Structure 1
Amino acid sequence: MGGQCDLEVDVNGEETFFVHKNIISSYCGKIRKLFETSKGATKNLKVILHDFPGGPESFELVTRFCYNNCKIVINPYNAHRLLCAAHYLEMNESVSGSHNLVEQTKKSIEEIKFWSWPELLSALKNSLDLVPFESSSQIHEKCLDSIVARLVFTSETSPSCPSSSSPESSSIRLSTDSKSTESLRSGVLRSTWWFEDLANILTPSLVKQLVKSIILHKFDHGVTSRFLFYYQKSRFFDATSDEKLEIIETVVDCLSWLDQSSVSCKNLFGILRVALNLNVKTIHRNILERMIGFQLDQATLDNLLVPSPHGSNYLYDVNLVLQFVKHFLAAKSGPKVPISELKKVARLMDSYVAEVAPDPRLKPCKFLALVKALPESARGTYDDLYHAIDIYLQVHTGLSDEEKTSIFNSLDYTKLSSECCNHLTQNAKFPPRFATLALKAQQLKLENLFRGMDVQKRFILPPHELVATETNEERRKQVVVYAEQVVPYEGKKDIVSENEKMKAHLEGMQWRVVELEKVCRKMQTQMSKMLKSKSSRQTSSKSLPRLCS
């Protein structure tokens, strides 16, 4: 800058500038104050600027502004640098109008809504290089708000974008209609076109700001949740362990702010497995457990088979599944609990119990906790649980009588099918008194079935009505079991002590049931023939001429 440059400025120890003191200090309040408070020589002056936002490149922009009579081109690529540098150097003091760099830059940034998408991304990316500064965070906020507004506008003008009510809709489903498939693929691409652009730029802290802005602008929560899952996967490739932990915790926090019905249950389990390996904080693990529990009815058996924590002596993480059920019941509590969801979870838990039952290290208390995790109203049948208990007893032969009794009492014998009851009566692992309990439960069920039915009327009904009654296979079996099981056991008070006698009697009873089933089938065939014969007579009668009828 010539020989008259009387001020040396060291910027962050990276580069030194030689400038005119009077020119720079006339616009930069920070430097002017330094000379006002200092007394001494006016030659060989030096100023050291620490943590200057943007480094030497930003200071060079400031000098151009000062040496060019306050004229400089402010655009999306340098606005963030100029604003932060102007705030740092206090270039808004003692000057006004066009001479105030802070005001000029702010006016330029106000035009952010007219910036193109690449300009927005560039401004956001470049601002991340600046030292954390209040003015820098203001630019982040403005950029993110403008980006979200752009996303909202794009989604409103793309009607084929998937709805947030279907969190799994990001995957392309096969269709016999090629046009339909192409349309769906096009819709998904239109809703996710921005994923890569932002995932490559945003830091975890900015992701939180983005999601908050998204919620404020009421942008699609389903698309937002898919972006968060995409962000986690894309940023994991070259991240350190600490960075991965920060990313996971950020994603979990952001997912918890969204409508839970818009978050994919499958992807939540994927996040959970990663989180467990990274040992995330307890608060974030609890958030994940709560979100999964909310939609446990959408989970699969493979999702639940999470390996036990390191150092545990059992195969699968049973405590984790129990937490899922706890959160599910808490989320679905109340008079309007969807019974369909409850039954889905019951079937899922029955499958899980059967899967973990062969684990020889699974303690009886944990097994029993799984069996009793859901209310009795959740299950229409206990057949699957019975088979799971049978497997558990087969593997765990060293259980105490008290432990066995607790497991036996966990079954609702009134909800066992006749096939399971027959199996139970021959199952040596179940004490005879529980076999009797199962048979009496069947007796009570059949008594309730016949209560209100006129047995005599059944045999004088027209053939077509009688056939219609016997077409229900399950009911027919129950009638046969009732006919042979109810009477023999009435009044036998000492059956518990007569094990061998009971076993022989049960075998004979089962043989008689088979014989009665054969008789029932024969009677049903005969009744069908009678019905056909009656129908044919009625048809021939109607076909005769009236005078001959």
Structure 2
Amino acid sequence: MAVCCDLEADINGEETFLLDKKIICSFSGRLSKLFGKSTGANRNKVIFNDFPGGAENFELISRFCYNNGEIDINPSNISLLYSAAEFMEMSKSVSGNCNLLEKTKKCIEELGYWTWPDLLVALKHCQEMQQVATSSGILEKCLDSIVGRLAITSEASPCASTSSPDSSGLRLSCDTRSTESLKNSFSRANWWFEDLSVLSPNLVEMLVKSMVSRKYNQVIISRFLLYYQKSKFFTASSDEKRQVLEIVIDGLYTLDPSCISCKSLFGILRVVLNLNISKSSRNKLECMIGSQMDQATLDNLLIPSPYGTSYLYDVNLVLRFLKAFLREGGWRLSPTRMKKVASLMDLYIAEVAPDPFLRLSKFLALVVALPDSARDCWDELYHAIDVYLEVHAGLSEEEKLKICCALNYEKLSSDACVHLSQNAKFPSKSSVQALVSQQLKLKNLLQGSKNSKPDMDSPCKLNETRGKAKKGEGSEQIVLYSGRLDISGDNENLRAHLQGMQWRVIELEKLCKKMQAQMAKLMKSKTPTTHSTARSLPRLCS
């Protein structure tokens, strides 16, 4: 029988098909409308510039028409056939056979019963024509089925993975006598990572959103994203790497911060530094790192400065981490977390202080970044400032004072105060302030010792305290001068005066230690003393 070829179809400029118009029009509503009821022998031509799936897919539906509505619908072609059936409006029935659109819809409804390999095949083909698959709903249903399958395998005894013939899913052991099987089962929670690592970044983004909405284990989601990033980087170009990183960062940002380790985030950061990712993704990564600053280490923070800059380390990046830590932490910033970050920053500031190219404004910003309450002792900061002033000897007196004003002299130890008073690198005002602060601390300490009372319920202990406090060493009176000093005079006279103050502080420290030892003995002793010599306590004059 002669084959009639009265229809010429140009498909996306890829290929031209010669077809029987009558046969094709009997299944396609679109062509029927185009040609009306005319099925004459005159050759007609149609041009499709946006046919879904191209020439290969048009050949599929042509075979469906020539086979009188019979075709094998499987996971590898269902998305193609469905999209083509919609495009060609193939909702007609011929000789009682179901139309192609109805057949594909029915197959999609049964998608939840497909095997894992079938789901992967269908998902792969959806990826190749994502726009069509998304609009038709096939992609969403395929992803939902995959996430549902994963949720089942993570809760119970899952089915085997098909990534390899002998691989198996997460099998929980019932043998409580050994933990080895449990460890093995937990490590196999990632059995599906390799299967889904072939997906495009856009599909991974959709997959993660579906997993989060289904309340899938976020720890496993974070591990998959990190695995996906590493697996894609082997053969990816710079643009592909950038796209993968942005999807991974955006996906991690939607998870609970406790599900992502600080070490993993810094690992991503090291890669990001060499790629020009979007500002939004970079800000998200810095926020995630900043919220976990109390888990970071000094090595994590020692990030080289950007190309083209003279200073050694990227101080601006660390300042943004701190800003994010204070902002993102909010009410969760416990004193313990604050102190951990303060200790880390003391180490970092000491590390960057010797950098001769570090500007004063940046160094000062590091010093004052955290609130005063974050540190119990400021000795480490003092030593870092000492190093900075030594390296930057050309600073003016005014610039030095800006740094010294950030110091909390009340939280400096006695040794640090004495060292500062003799430190020629520091301004004279700082030396005076350190000594005055130290004297006030000692005065308060002595006053507290003088006013401390033993157990008032025991008259014997009270008499004993009074007697022993008047007895022993330290009978001489030490008078300290902490009034205003005229620092505008001769520097030599000022230095001599400061040395005299320093000597009086040292003497007072010795006396204070003796008194503390005496008071400790008094509080421990239980035998009343009846013979005591009246001696006056040393007094501190202001």
TM-score when normalising by structure 2 = 0.80
Change (3 A) 1:507 1:326: closer
- Tell whether 2:191 aligns with 1:196: no
Q: Could you tell me which residue of structure 2 aligns to residue 74 of structure 1? A: 73
Change (3 A) 1:259 1:2: farther
Q: Could you tell me which residue of structure 1 aligns to residue 244 of structure 2? A: 247
Could you list the runs of 5+ residues in structure 2 that have no partner in the other structure?
A: 159-176, 466-472, 528-542
Change (3 A) 1:320 1:152: same
Per-residue deviation at 1:315? Answer: 1.6
Q: Could you tell me which residue of structure 2 aligns to residue 262 of structure 1? A: 259
Could you list the runs of 5+ residues in structure 1 that have no partner in the other structure?
A: 160-177, 467-479, 535-549
Per-residue deviation at 1:504? Answer: 4.7
Q: Could you tell me which residue of structure 1 aligns to residue 41 of structure 2? A: 42
CA contact (8 A) 1:97 1:103 kept: no
State how far apart, in whole Å, the 2-side matches of 1:485 and 1:226 are.
70
Deviations 1:405-427 (A, max 9, x none): 01111110111122222322332
State how far apart, in whole Å, the 2-side matches of 1:508 and 1:36 are.
113
State how far apart, in whole Å, the 2-side matches of 1:357 and 1:323 are.
18
Change (3 A) 1:442 1:383: same
Letter in 1 for 2:406: S
State how far apart, in whole Å, the 1-side matches of 2:513 and 2:494 are.
29
Q: Could you tell me which residue of structure 1 aligns to residue 496 of structure 2? A: 501
Q: Could you tell me which residue of structure 1 aligns to residue 391 of structure 2? A: 395
Per-residue deviation at 1:451? Answer: 4.2
- Tell whether 2:244 aligns with 1:274: no
Per-residue deviation at 1:8? Answer: 4.0
TM-score when normalising by structure 1 = 0.79
Secondary structure of residue in 2 paired with 1:333: helix
Deviations 1:260-283 (A, max 9, x none): 232222222222333332222222
State how far apart, in whole Å, the 2-side matches of 1:136 and 1:223 are.
29
Secondary structure of residue in 2 paired with 1:284: helix
Secondary structure of residue in 2 paired with 1:219: coil
230-239 or 178-187, larger mean C-alpha shift: 178-187
Letter in 1 for 2:349: V
Letter in 1 for 2:357: R
Change (3 A) 1:205 1:82: same
Q: Aligned residues: percent identity?
A: 52
Change (3 A) 1:327 1:29: same
Q: Could you tell me which residue of structure 1 aligns to residue 533 of structure 2? A: none
State how far apart, in whole Å, the 1-side matches of 2:475 and 2:269 are.
54
Correspondence 1:89-100 to 2 at 5 A: 89-92=88-91, 98-100=97-99
43-52 or 323-332, larger mean C-alpha shift: 43-52
Change (3 A) 1:206 1:69: same
CA contact (8 A) 2:12 2:51 kept: yes
CA contact (8 A) 1:120 1:147 kept: yes
Per-residue deviation at 1:105? Answer: 0.6
Match of 2:346 among 343, 350, 353: 350
Secondary structure of residue in 1 paired with 2:110: helix
Deviations 1:1-24 (A, max 9, x none): 953344344444444444322111
Per-residue deviation at 1:217? Answer: 0.4
Letter in 2 for 1:314: Y
Deviations 1:220-264 (A, max 9, x none): 122212222222221122222222222222222222222223222
CA contact (8 A) 2:26 2:92 kept: no
State how far apart, in whole Å, the 1-side matches of 2:96 and 2:317 are.
64
Secondary structure of residue in 2 paired with 1:278: coil
- What is the root-mean-square deviation of aligned Cα atoms in Å? 3.8
State how far apart, in whole Å, the 2-side matches of 1:485 and 1:214 are.
77
CA contact (8 A) 1:53 1:131 kept: no
Q: Could you tell me which residue of structure 2 aligns to residue 475 of structure 1? A: none
State how far apart, in whole Å, the 2-side matches of 1:406 and 1:265 are.
34
Per-residue deviation at 1:123? Answer: 0.6
- Tell whether 2:329 aligns with 1:332: yes
389-398 or 246-255, larger mean C-alpha shift: 246-255
CA contact (8 A) 1:127 1:136 kept: no
Match of 2:358 among 362, 376, 381: 362
Q: Could you tell me which residue of structure 2 aligns to residue 543 of structure 1? A: none
Q: Could you tell me which residue of structure 1 aligns to residue 435 of structure 2? A: 439
